[in-house]
Structure 1
């Protein structure tokens, strides 16, 4: 497939996008009667109340150790979170003192056994990390507001597990966390607990389109925050749907403006679920292809939404090579087909995936049907 040739899905989505955001004479500004999107169920009464996992259910909250053996084959071992540290103490495939460790937290109705989670785990393992993933399918399949309520308890338990690993050589400097959707907030809770218990913050925390529903109007102690780790980076892919628009990290990347992502399936636009889920695919490919996802610094989130950042001379990589010495808001261009990265071609305004295509539709001087 020619990665530089737009398909019909992108054309369709571009038409919708431009119709919603622009008119021929200039930029569309909603009237006071129309207002600005408030997002999907920003407030969920009761989600800050306590939630407890009983002793009878605790064994279903698991840590999965994701490894590569000598033949480069994936080996996975699931353990209850309360005893995982003991089971790992004798592992010969783990080096907490000399290797980096990452804990990846899955999202709502998600599992560490799903292919995308395993792909992320393998990408980290190939780069020499000790890799752990959460298994929460028994808990994060409750009706969504109750799953949000459980998230803090899950995060606390993961944090306790990580604290116990410090007795085996884990240090904050070698600890990274990442999470998808509600898993991003759980990773934030785990980081908060780790700091409260050890006085040290994890080295890095990555949020992949942190969940917006039920979280948008909560204070920072109830969601992922830039204060949770020494370096916090956030990827936004569906800010007015299942994600959230505001800055949450030291560096926030807004992929293609952060609202909706282009799809690679003809005639089917990438709407809410698709755009939200695309965040983990971008991260997986960023791990696999260092320095291929390049963002442009923006003056504001609104500029990122409208891709008004191409006059910027400051760039940053999305992935393990992110330069945290250059904090701020970044517009992250992607392609519409796997493996999604655009490299340096994405830094050219004429290659912006929405507006460049919509211009081409009526580029002829005379249209005859």
Structure 2
């Protein structure tokens, strides 16, 4: 066990040496060690440190053996809402389904929060209300105890949590007559991987794939070095609908589903300040801003599907250069789409996010003009600016994560 009297940064750096030797180094450790060291130097205001640790307060892991207690059905609670009475819920658990009353042919969505979250997740209500308007029953899932462990432990807990949810869905299908084809799991961050495991468990036990799962910026740390069968993947359901907003930092960077939306390129969102770790004055807001944007974008996409039209394209650079005008288009909130591939779209910095600032529109127009001037100094300048933007979009933790990957190999 960790001695609470020993400074965190000393523990971190002593464990780094051990973990590098054992090739068990994780990117998350870098983050907590860096911030802990800064904390010791009193370089960040208390309010900002509190906000950061609300996200990463349990991220540090060591090379010592960690005993992970199994997650039991008592650790996962379900809250059912229906359109008939959207303000009231029926609370139930896996072994207590007698209170559940759903139309046999009704659609049911299951919302799954991420690390350090609970049923009070601020995006639950908005997505719930928008789905109720589409005649879904909505089940808000609370797995707060397993979610509030060290990040490493919570990431392991996702397997058990997914199994409990999958078993509950199968029980609802068998005992309450709700077809599996009408069930839609939706998860954010660690919840994004949980919905992937749910799809895999349902298929394993029933031989039937879920028609669709939705992963909202699925977690990147630890999962980005796992094999496909140990995380969300493109075979987790018939359609694996993924929205990327913070790839390379808190979110999963690369294509991971069958239908991947890369909003504003997928790693950096307008209105979320970029943080330069060499200049602490840039730390002026939650570092999770980009990551937290995904569920709210999805909520708006459900309510305003015509405002969130994405275009199939080979890359963000090609999309910005208008090289994919003839590509497929799909609404990001379309829950019936069967499109496959990488899709891109732009949004603004303030709600509603589909309202792009006039300056952005003008900038986009200028980029089109520059693209027409191939072979000129303007084109060369655009390429240089694009490279600069790439460096910015790598995210505040990119150097740290790249160093970690070089160790992992």
Place the TM-score, normalised by the shorter chain, in its bin: 0.7 to 0.9
- The equivalent residue for 1:193 is 201
Q: Which runs of 5+ in 1 are unaligned?
A: 1-38, 360-369
Q: How far off its partner does 1:223 sit?
A: 0.9
* CA drift at 1:316: 1.5
Match 1:340 to one of 353, 357, 366: 353
The match for 1:105 is 112
Answer whether contact 2:107 2:135 (CA < 8 A) is retained. Answer: yes
Corresponding position of 1:231: 239
Please tell me whether the aligned partners of residues 291 and 321 of structure 1 are also in contact (alpha carbons under 8 angstroms).
Answer: no
Greater length-normalized contact order (CA 8 Å, ≥ 6 residues apart)? 1
2:333 aligned to 319, 325, 337, which one? 319
Per the TM alignment, residue 42 of structure 1 is displaced from its structure 2 partner at its CA by 9.9
Secondary structure in 2 matching 1:191: helix
Task: Give the direction of change, closer, same or farther, for the CA distance of 1:169–1:351 in structure 2 (3 Å limit).
Answer: farther
Any idea what the Cα deviations from partners look like across 1:302-344, whole Å, max 9, x if unmatched?
A: 656xx345542222210125632x311111211111011149x
Query: Are the aligned partners of 1:239 and 1:245 in contact in 2 as well (CA < 8 Å)?
Result: yes
Deviations 1:173-221 (A, max 9, x none): 2121110000010111111111111100111111100000010011111
Q: Taking structure 1 as reference, are residues 209 and 308 closer, same or farther at Cα in structure 2, changes over 3 Å only?
A: farther
Report Cα offsets for 1:122-156 as digits up to 9, x if no partner.
21111101211210111101010110011110001
Q: Aligned pair 1:174/2:186, yes or no?
A: no
Q: Secondary structure at the residue paired with 2:243?
A: strand
Unmatched 5+ residue regions in structure 2? Answer: 1-25, 31-60, 274-281, 369-377, 379-409
Provide TM-score, normalisation by structure 1.
0.73
**Pair 1:215-2:223 in alignment:** yes
CA contact (8 A) 2:170 2:180 kept: no
SS of the counterpart of 2:353? Answer: coil
Distance in 1 (CA, whole Å) between partners of 2:262 and 2:71 is 39
Tell me, what secondary structure is at the counterpart of 1:86?
coil
Which deviates the most, 126-135 or 108-117?
108-117
Q: Bigger shift: 315-324 or 224-233?
A: 315-324
Q: How does 1:347-362 map to 2 (within 5 A)?
A: 350=362, 352=364
Task: Determine the structure 2 residue equivalent to 1:53.
Answer: 70
1:293 maps onto 2:308 in alignment: yes
Relative distance call for 1:270 and 1:151 in structure 2 (3 A) is: same
Instruction: Give the alignment partner of residue 85 of structure 1, picking from 97, 111, 117.
Output: 97
Where do 1:117-136 residues align within 5 Å?
117-136=124-143
Partner in structure 2 of residue 64 of structure 1: 79
| Match of residue 257 from structure 2 | 249
| TM-score normalised by length of structure 2 | 0.66
RMSD: 3.4
**Larger helix proportion of the pair:** 2
Query: C-alpha separation between the residues in 1 aligned to 2:138 and 2:365?
Result: 35
Query: What secondary structure sits across from 1:101 in the alignment?
Result: strand
